[in-house]
Structure 1
Amino acid sequence: MSNQALALSNSNVAMAISNPGALGTIEAYISAVNRLPLLSAEQEKNLAEQLQKEGNLDAARDLIMSHLRLVVSISRQYLGYGLPHADLIQEGNIGLMKAVKRFDVSRGVRLVSFAVHWIKAEIHEYVIRNWRMVKIATTKAQRKLFFNLRSMRPDGQTLNPEHIEGIAAKLNVRPEDVSEMEVRLSGRDMSFESQTNDDDEFAPISYLSDDGDHEPTSVIEKQAYDTLQSSGISQALSLLDERSRRIIEARWLQDEGGGATLHELAAEFGVSAERIRQIEAASLKKMRKALSE
């Protein structure tokens, strides 16, 4: 997502929401939203009531616009994850809109206090979803550790048992969860297959493959092969007439030694060797069709 996708028009808020890109850069966007006026408690209450009771979208727009600077401020806290600031702001704006939609002025709290949680939740989800190719945190404990472990870890030090126990107690998670997240954060994404032709032997696909018989695809293939070799062949043979079945069995299904020759079978049935070959070809074709089905 480009910085332009976040720009809002300071002169016409309605046009800005429907037509992002008017300001050009993320810096211009931040400068613009910081100039937008803040609402007094009375103004905020009136707008919230209009939205809640009348569904007034202009009131919703004004509530959102007056709190865009809050999203910018919160998004700066997540710049250390290496994700574009523009995208962080965009996700935070989505959280702000959700907060405005659910805001209940009768609870006696200001929108800024209510919206903080929605903005952070949306940014958290975006960071976790995009920080690595493989999602690094799924459970509640993992999410808590993901956003707190780096700041709680001693600079440049590996966590020892004492550190792990202390962090686990502060965050109310299991010590083993702390150890696992430490390993996850210290790792990096790696392509399963080599991106070049020069280092194929160093790609994970070369040393993580299972050469045994336990790989699922191999197991299924073996089961299918065994089925074809037993009941599959028997069923296919049952579709042939007696002469054709005799020819196939004599030519291909002998347990010991080589199969009968075309001339031997020609003498047995009193036909030419060419006729035996034709019957054999037609029978094999019929059997292949039956086995494929």
Structure 2
Amino acid sequence: MPQRKLCLFEDEQFIDEFDVEPIEEALDDEEGIKFKKVLDDSITLYFKEVANHPLLTREEEVALGRAIEVAERDIIKACLLYPTQVIKFYNLLVKHSQDKTLDKLFKDYEELAKKEQEVETWLDLLKKELNDLYNLLTTEEKQSKEDIEVIIEKILDLIYKVRPTKILLDELSCEIRDFAKRYKSLHNQNILSKLSMKEKDFFGIPAEEVLASAELIENRFQEIKKAKEQFAKSNLRLIISIARKYASHGALLADLIQEGNLGLLKAIEKFDYRRGFKFSTYATWWIRQSITKYLAEHTRTIRIPVHIIETIYKISKIVSTKFYQEYGRDPTIEDLANITGMSIERLNQIFKYVKQPLSLEANIHHDEDRTLLEFIEDGNSTRPDEYTFNNELSEKVRILLSTLSSREEKVIRLRFGIGEKEACTLEEVGQKFGVSKERIRQIESMALRKLKHPKRIKYLKNLLFHGT
């Protein structure tokens, strides 16, 4: 049994988590040269541009991660100085908690949610701190900035236990940023009178302070954007290194790179520098996940689920690298079952996904116009020899019946369904002729005696003998 054919991608070489080869080296090997010959000018230019961005060191990754966190903290801190935004944050927590969608507001919420008691304590404490902050901001007695900052720091510490998403940052800051844009669009002396009472009550703070907060928020968003861009540009070569491994699986390299870019952006959003691992190690999984998902959805006539594609890749790795190098042969189905821990039935089921459908319009040979469809039997159609025999038999029966009288011929045809949709009973034939069924039986009996004449029987026997 040629086991290697069971695998979807025979030559698939998986990338280890730390296998990040520079793009210069990737384009110098034999495989890289083959790719280079078929790449268009835009891809070649893209490769050259990517080569200008070196990989980040671990220290640089930590610095960028910290810069993003500091900027996010400043945005949240600026927003929480406004009672209306504190209320909005509180309401967001309540709404998403009821809808069980807090993972939209916090990156690591799913991990915390695994501990039910801990997540309830965290949520209650966050709500309590927000309530205390709102009371401080709205009390008539003047509160010191130190007291307010202490509570805000407690809230920030709780938030960064699960880290905020961009959705949360946008939700908290959108009204302040919109207010600043509207304020700047008005250029006359009566600017405040043109703002609605709702807007004035919304902030309860002088416009100059709101504008200052909006400017700070905009600056911090720009800092976050620049830091993420640096993360992305410095890891574009990682995408190419991974995408090249999949370029022979039915998709353009440019499309794979684009999908890898999407995976890289997700990795940047999810990355936590405090956990100690390198960003490239973390991003590899997201990039590969994005590319394999694209391959599963776009490169096959019949879509294969992503988790099946990943399983096939793992099996392919076992066949093409580990097992073959160690034993010098392809693994049997039993070998794969022992290595993967899967049952033989499950492996056979997975291998069924590997088979590619074959088009009926496919040419049999490259130099011929004949297609596979021309060689497939149509089970519903009559074979040529049967068609010829049936036509000949029909003609001979017609000639034989023509030796009877017209009435006898019609009765025989109706009784046996010759040339009719179905055979008729004696009574039905009698009704057609306006006579009794006994008279029809007599006519039928007379006609059959004529047909049993030795000459006519010999005529039919000769036909049936040659037909068989």
1:151 Cα deviation from its structure 2 partner: 4.3
1:213-252 correspondence runs (5 A) = none
In structure 1, what residue type is equivalent to 2:312? Answer: F
Could you list the per-position Cα deviations for residues 121-148 of structure 1 after superposition, in whole angstroms to 9, with x for gaps in the alignment? 1011011112311013x273x3343213
1:283: which partner in 2? none
Higher relative contact order (CA 8 A, sep 6+): 2
Q: 1:34 to 1:180 in 2, by over 3 A?
A: same
Could you list the per-position Cα deviations for residues 238-265 of structure 1 after superposition, in whole angstroms to 9, with x for gaps in the alignment? xxxxxxxxxxxxxxxxxx979xxxxxxx
In structure 1, how many angstroms separate the alpha carbons of the residues matched to 2:47 and 2:246? 16
1:153 Cα deviation from its structure 2 partner: 4.0
TM-score (norm. length: structure 2): 0.34
In structure 2, how many angstroms separate the alpha carbons of the residues matched to 1:111 and 1:64? 11
In structure 2, how many angstroms separate the alpha carbons of the residues matched to 1:73 and 1:153? 22
In structure 2, how many angstroms separate the alpha carbons of the residues matched to 1:197 and 1:116? 46
In structure 1, what residue type is equivalent to 2:65? Answer: A
In structure 2, how many angstroms separate the alpha carbons of the residues matched to 1:171 and 1:29? 39
Answer yes or no: is the 8 Å Cα contact 1:95–1:121 preserved in 2: yes
The 3-state SS of whatever aligns with 2:332 is helix
2:392: which partner in 1? none
C-alpha RMSD of matched pairs (Å): 3.5
Answer yes or no: is the 8 Å Cα contact 2:360–2:371 preserved in 1: no
In structure 2, what residue type is equivalent to 1:170? Answer: I
Could you list the per-position Cα deviations for residues 94-125 of structure 1 after superposition, in whole angstroms to 9, with x for gaps in the alignment? 10010001111111222111111101110110
Aligned partner (choices 271, 279, 285) of residue 117 of structure 1: 285
Answer yes or no: is the 8 Å Cα contact 2:232–2:264 preserved in 1: yes
TM-score (norm. length: structure 1): 0.52
Aligned partner (choices 143, 146, 166) of residue 312 of structure 2: 146
With 46-55 and 77-86 compared, the bigger mean Cα shift is at: 46-55
In structure 2, how many angstroms separate the alpha carbons of the residues matched to 1:73 and 1:198? 40
In structure 2, what residue type is equivalent to 1:30? Answer: F
Aligned partner (choices 203, 226, 230) of residue 58 of structure 1: 226
Q: 1:173 to 1:131 in 2, by over 3 A?
A: farther
1:214: which partner in 2? none
Answer yes or no: is the 8 Å Cα contact 2:361–2:371 preserved in 1: no
1:247: which partner in 2? none
2:88: which partner in 1? none
In structure 2, how many angstroms separate the alpha carbons of the residues matched to 1:114 and 1:83? 25
**Unaligned runs of at least 5 residues, structure 2:** 1-39, 73-219, 364-368, 381-427, 433-468
1:175: which partner in 2? 344
Could you list the per-position Cα deviations for residues 64-120 of structure 1 after superposition, in whole angstroms to 9, with x for gaps in the alignment? 000101111111111231321111111111100100011111112221111111011
Aligned partner (choices 54, 67, 78) of residue 37 of structure 1: 54
Q: 1:61 to 1:152 in 2, by over 3 A?
A: same
In structure 2, how many angstroms separate the alpha carbons of the residues matched to 1:207 and 1:194? 21
Answer yes or no: is the 8 Å Cα contact 2:53–2:234 preserved in 1: yes
The 3-state SS of whatever aligns with 2:241 is helix
2:260: which partner in 1? 92
1:78 correspondence with 2:216: no
Q: 1:145 to 1:165 in 2, by over 3 A?
A: farther
1:38 Cα deviation from its structure 2 partner: 2.7
**Unaligned runs of at least 5 residues, structure 1:** 1-22, 209-255, 259-293
With 163-172 and 96-105 compared, the bigger mean Cα shift is at: 163-172
Q: 1:177 to 1:49 in 2, by over 3 A?
A: same
Q: 1:129 to 1:172 in 2, by over 3 A?
A: farther
1:165 correspondence with 2:334: yes
The 3-state SS of whatever aligns with 2:245 is helix
2:180: which partner in 1? none
Answer yes or no: is the 8 Å Cα contact 1:193–1:203 preserved in 2: no
Answer yes or no: is the 8 Å Cα contact 2:360–2:373 preserved in 1: no
2:66: which partner in 1? 49
Q: List 4+ stretches of structure 1 deviating above 4 A.
A: 191-204
1:129 correspondence with 2:146: no
1:169 Cα deviation from its structure 2 partner: 2.7
Answer yes or no: is the 8 Å Cα contact 1:145–1:178 preserved in 2: no
In structure 2, how many angstroms separate the alpha carbons of the residues matched to 1:98 and 1:120? 12
1:203 Cα deviation from its structure 2 partner: 7.0
With 84-93 and 142-151 compared, the bigger mean Cα shift is at: 142-151
In structure 1, how many angstroms separate the alpha carbons of the residues matched to 2:335 and 2:373? 43
The 3-state SS of whatever aligns with 1:80 is coil
Aligned partner (choices 44, 49, 53) of residue 27 of structure 1: 44
In structure 2, how many angstroms separate the alpha carbons of the residues matched to 1:148 and 1:84? 22
1:200 Cα deviation from its structure 2 partner: 5.5
Q: 1:76 to 1:146 in 2, by over 3 A?
A: same
Count of residue correspondences? 183
1:34 Cα deviation from its structure 2 partner: 1.8
1:57 Cα deviation from its structure 2 partner: 0.5
